[in-house]
Chains A and B, each alone.
Chain A
């Protein structure tokens, strides 16, 4: 008889669930952390699609040589000056406060080096970010922290943010460890408060008065710059139509895989719909109201590489935002300063402790010593390298599919690898000619 013990955990009360219950029993609070959903991806994702490159039915372009345009123009509907980007991969809004000064400036420099854009975040404009940005998008959020009409007029586009993919329907969090003197002054807050941002804008409630809000922003910016409307992905089909009706030049849909600097964990895990589903609903909505191609679509939420970006573009996006991937290029979760990961109770590759303000690599912190670990120039180089590599991946796939412009990618260039993806994307399942659900 073997003396080896056979252990069997509960499927319902798994070790993770037990730990969660006991942590809440200690604190009396819901759990807060950063990074985005940690769930195993059991829903359909971009990985459930595969490209169908040319063979006999279509002719490919030379993969390493032939011209394949990546130029991206956003805001052609009403704006006097649409923005022109060299590539279709942009940096999403992440606040100065959630991120360090060094991280914000590195992102600005890195994006600018390859003709891309970056976005301010919940806390207003960092002037060094403006000075180092070729194209800067200014977010107007429900909190209006740092709102400043002069900064708004310096922006190349305005993003009216209704929600965020990691936590649609709920405002942001910035725990007291990151509300330093400088950040508190920028946001007009007391130093060290656990800042909980509002979810609702203070001066409009719904889609009807948002129409007036959009007009106000156009008046404040002389009708020149594009107005983006950004939303967390929930009822995307209806929300996109309402945003288009409100006069958006560009609509941003942020899926549930999107990241965050801090949020109640349950919101990251159990709210919103996946990015794959969101892009399909958004395209269908714009097509239904005859505005597909008129209102541009940006998709965000867990975009990791050029493959995810190419698939999003093929499904209907004009561009993608990256956030977490850009931070990873800045050394997020890199195995350096390992002892400081351990102080946080974690390890490289497993860290989601952005909320603590003790980021070992100087990205999500306001601590001057930690921030120094992120060299701005080196960080900018890594960001621009990632953007270059992602763009080349998109081009590689586009050329293989016979496209001389990455924006010519289309759903017909792909097959579904699961019935769920087939049903969501309206694309035949590989090995069949059948679109499931139709």
Chain B
């Protein structure tokens, strides 16, 4: 396993070394919450950051598997094409923003605007999430095992959201329902895949999640939907 030490080096030097190490396992020591670590890794490397990272860790990657043992700042894995970004702690605003594929797994909590404008892939939060999660979600799946903040799933296109806890407030045009049997099975399988047995003890079963999708009333300008357009963000 290759080792990269961040101490005394620029982000540019750190990323260049990670990219140059091929497709094996890489451990990155002392990340010290630096920004832009692990950006645009375009190969199937497994990279573990031992500590916390700043903004945009794993942003614009395609195919890498990234693990952060601490917490992450804003824009975690933003615009990722494919791969996995897994954070043992919590993540700041805009985690999984605009991702087009791959999986973002957050074992702690996620702050505001989780999965904003996501265009595919999976965003899974074991804990709670802040306000406006799923805002303008286009495709993909967003799962929050705990509670969700205000304006949840606001103005979405075709992202499918699931929440295991309480939703403080649904966003404009968001519609909640019970998951179908196959969706409940998908939730159980996904949690089993990404969360430990210990973590899963406190999570609801798939059938007890709420499913939230767009009501499609904002998809096209329509004067008959005046009330919803008045409140649209």
Contact = CB atoms under 8 A, between A and B. Distances in A.
Interface stretch (A68-76, A187-195, A315-323, A382-390): A187-195
B60 A149 contact: yes
Interface in B34-64: 35-36, 39-40, 42, 54-56, 59-62
B78 interface: yes
B133 to A, nearest CB: 12
Contact of A194 (B36, B97, B221): B221
Interface string A144-173: 110111101100000000000000000000
B221 A203 contact: no
A215 interface: yes
A193 B221 CA distance: 9
* Residue in B12, B81, B119 with the greatest tally of chain A CB atoms within 10 Å: B119
Given A144-B79, A204-B74, A198 B136 contact: yes
B113 A202 contact: yes
A175 B220 CA distance: 8
Contacts of A188: 100, 119-120, 138-139
A209 B138 CA distance: 25
A147 B98 contact: yes
A149 B117 contact: no
Given A188-B138, A189-B138, A223 B97 contact: no
A57 interface: no
A190 B218 CA distance: 12
Contacts of A3: none
Contact of B40 (A28, A149, A192, A212): A149
Given A203-B75, A212-B55, A144 B40 contact: no
B223 A28 contact: yes
Nearest to A173: B221
How many of chain A's residues touch chain B, expressed as a range? 20 to 34
Nearest to B16: A222
B138 A149 contact: no
Given A202-B94, A220-B40, A144 B221 contact: no
A187 B98 CA distance: 11
B27 interface: no
A86 interface: no
A177 to B, nearest CB: 10
B175 interface: no
A213 B62 contact: no
B161 interface: no
Interface in A40-85: none
Contacts of B136: 198
A21 interface: no
Interface string B101-140: 0000000000001001101100000000000000010110
A213 B36 CA distance: 8
B186 interface: no
Interface in B138-152: 138-139
A152 B100 CA distance: 14
B6 interface: no
A202 B78 contact: yes
B98 A194 contact: no
Q: Which 6 A-B pairs have the closest CB atoms?
A: A203-B75, A28-B223, A188-B119, A220-B40, A144-B98, A202-B97
17 contacts: A28-B223, A144-B98, A147-B79, A148-B100, A176-B220, A188-B119, A188-B120, A190-B157, A192-B220, A202-B113, A203-B74, A209-B74, A213-B75, A216-B39, A216-B60, A219-B12, A220-B39
Interface of B: 11-12, 15, 35-36, 39-40, 42, 54-56, 59-62, 74-75, 78-79, 81, 93-94, 97-98, 100, 113, 116-117, 119-120, 136, 138-139, 157-158, 219-221, 223, 226
